[in-house]
Amino acid sequence: MADNRREKIHTRNISISTYDMGDDTVMVEGILRDERLRPTYSLTANETFQPGIIHDLKISLTVRGKDLVIEDVNVEMMEVPSKECKKTRESLRPLIGHRIASGFTLWVKNTFGGPRGCTHLNALLLAMAPAVVQGYWVLKASKPISLGSMGDLPDASYLVDTCWVWRKDGPLVKKMADMLQEMEGK
């Protein structure tokens, strides 16, 4: 039952787009935008802020090849609540050379979490990782895929146990294993 007294006070929108850059490379751009819909008081600034955008952040990742290696990262901070926030703009540079693969989420939390980075950039980055995988698959699947060309695709084993559909004992994992076995037999 809906409560008619409720009033929306904050929104967070995350938008992620993937672009074909040629040469087996994608650029994935993520935007995180937080908007406060009522005035808020800041203890540290000792002032009241009017409603509006509090975070407007963009991460661009350049990712190459089936191993999903991050070749470049660019962070833009169009709107942040404090000039101190902008000091974290370069914090994601250690991503360069890293792969988006199993264990990426834990690595991000251990590398950039807490006082080592910006929690909002990290939230955006973690939302972007599966979109990188999806975008790269779209790049590769925009042409017919044969068993012979499966070696050009990312290792799909990372999908196992990521969700119900890809559970270890499920039909899709069995089908994938059968296809890989058939490919190795040829």
CB 162 within 8 A of CB 126: no
**What pLDDT, on the 0 to 100 scale, is given for residue 162?**
79
Q: Shortest CA distance to 80 belongs to which of 110, 49, 105?
A: 49
Using CB atoms within 10 A of its CB, is residue 180 exposed (0-12), middle (13-18) or buried (19+)? middle
pLDDT tens over the chain, length 186 residues: 566 789 999 999 999 999 999 999 999 999 999 999 999 998 888 899 999 999 999 999 999 999 999 999 999 999 999 999 999 999 999 999 999 998 999 999 999 999 999 999 999 999 999 999 999 989 988 877 665 555 666 666 667 787 898 898 999 888 888 877 776 665
Orientation angle between helical segments 104-112 and 119-141, nearest 10 degrees: 150
Query: Tell me, what's the pLDDT at 153?
Result: 62
